[in-house]
Amino acid sequence: MVIKRLFILLLFIPQFAFSESYVKDNNIYNDGNKVKTILINDELGSVLLDNKDVIVISNSYNASSTKTELNYVFSKLNGNILKMEQVNYSPEYDRYYGYFLNFPNGINVEDINEEFIDGLESRYGFKDYAFFNKNDHLILNIKEHDKNIFFSTYNNKSILIINYDISSDGKLLSEKYMKCEYLNESINSSSCKEIGFVNKRSYLYTSPNSISKMYLIKGDQVIINDVKSLKNEKWYLINYKGKKEINMWIKADSVDLN
C-alpha cells in the first residue's frame, strides 16, 4: 500500500519527472535552461540536430591536409553525452578514416571542458597514420596500441573506424576496429564489420569443419563477414586481402578483435 501511494505521488509531483533537452533558435535547453558548452562553436560552424531520442552537435573544420567532421551525440532525456564521432577526410587521397568514443554511462554535457576533450584526443585520436601505394592499391596504415592496421582504401566508399568504449573518467574499457560504408556524407552503421587479427598460424576452412590446405599466420588482418556457432564452437567467415582475395572460414579463437 505504501509503495502504491508513493507511485501515485510521483506521478503528480513535477520535480520527479525526467528533464528533457531540446533545441530552440539554434541553442540547447535542458529543463528550460540554456546549456552553455564548448561543444557549440560558431567559428567552426556548429549545427544542432534534434532527432527522436538524441540531440547531435555537429562541427566541421578544415586543416591544411584534412577535413574533419565531429559529432557529439547526447540523450534528450538527461543531457548526457553518449558518443563522440570523428571522421577525417584527406582531400589529397580522397579517403575517409575516423573513430567513435562511446560513453556507456554518459557524461554531463555541462561538465565537459577543453582540457577533457584534449585529453581524449591525445589518448584515443589518431597519432600515427600514413597513406601509401601497394600493388597499385592505396593503403592506409595506422599505428594504434602497438598494432599496425593496414586498411585497403581503394574503394572510396569505405572507412576505417576505431570504436572505443570509454568510462566517464576517460579510461579505456574496450576497443574494436571496424570497416564501414560511407554513403551520402554519413556512416551507414548497419554496414560496419569488425576487423580482426590472426593470433597464430591457423588453417582456413571452405565451410566449418571442412579444412583446406590454406592458412594464415599471426598478425594477418581479416574482416569478419559472418559468425556461426556449431556444437559449442564459434566460427568466422573472413575476408583476407593478400596476393589474392580470400573468403573462407576460420575458428574464432584464432582471431583477436581488439
Residue 171 belongs to domain spanning = 36-195
Sign of CA dihedral 202, 224, 234, 245: negative
- pLDDT tens track for 225-240: 999 998 889 999 999 9
Same domain, 115 and 178: yes
Question: Which of the listed residues 146, 174, 195 is the one where a domain comes to its end?
Answer: 195
> How far does CA 96 lie from the centroid of its chain?
13
pLDDT of residue 205: 96
Res. 105: pLDDT tops 80:
yes
In a domain, 23, yes or no: no
Q: Which of 147-151, 162-166, 215-219, 243-247 has the lowest mean pLDDT?
A: 147-151
Rounded average pLDDT over 69-96: 86
In a domain, 27, yes or no: no
Same domain, 170 and 57: yes
Residue 41: strand, helix, or coil: coil
pLDDT of residue 146: 67
Report the chain's mean pLDDT, rounded to a whole number.
81
Same domain, 174 and 207: no
Confidence band for 78, pLDDT divided at 50, 70 and 90: confident
In a domain, 127, yes or no: yes
pLDDT greater at residue 252 or residue 130: 252
In a domain, 156, yes or no: yes
Same domain, 181 and 53: yes
Confidence band for 2, pLDDT divided at 50, 70 and 90: very low
Q: How many domains does the chain have?
A: 2
- pLDDT tens track for 134-164: 665 677 777 766 677 777 665 557 788 889 9
- List, in order, residues 6 or more apart from 29 with CB less than 8 Å away: 21, 22, 23, 35
pLDDT of residue 185: 66
The CA distance from 241 to 47, in Å, is 39
Burial class (CB in 10 A: 0-12, 13-18, 19+), 107: buried
Same domain, 174 and 229: no
In a domain, 6, yes or no: no
pLDDT of residue 199: 94
Same domain, 52 and 133: yes
Same domain, 84 and 112: yes
Same domain, 106 and 169: yes
pLDDT greater at residue 7 or residue 128: 128
In a domain, 142, yes or no: yes
Same domain, 46 and 109: yes
Same domain, 167 and 208: no
Res. 211: pLDDT tops 90:
yes
- pLDDT tens track for 36-69: 888 887 766 788 888 888 999 888 888 777 888 8
Same domain, 185 and 206: no
pLDDT of residue 32: 85
In a domain, 152, yes or no: yes
In a domain, 223, yes or no: yes
pLDDT greater at residue 141 or residue 119: 119
Question: For the chain, what percentages of helix, strand and coil (3-state, to nearest 5) are there?
Answer: 15, 60, 30
Question: Which of the listed residues 195, 223, 245 is the one where a domain comes to its end?
Answer: 195
Question: Which of the listed residues 195, 213, 231 is the one where a domain comes to its end?
Answer: 195
CATH number for the domain harbouring residue 247: 2.30.30
Any bridge partners for residue 142, and if so which? 129, 149
Same domain, 150 and 208: no
Element (H, E) at 115: helix 114-124
- Highest averaged pLDDT of the listed ranges 18-22, 152-156, 200-204: 200-204
Rounded average pLDDT over 13-39: 73
Strand-pair category, 245-251 with 233-241: antiparallel
Q: Which of 173-177, 183-187, 197-201 has the lowest mean pLDDT?
A: 183-187
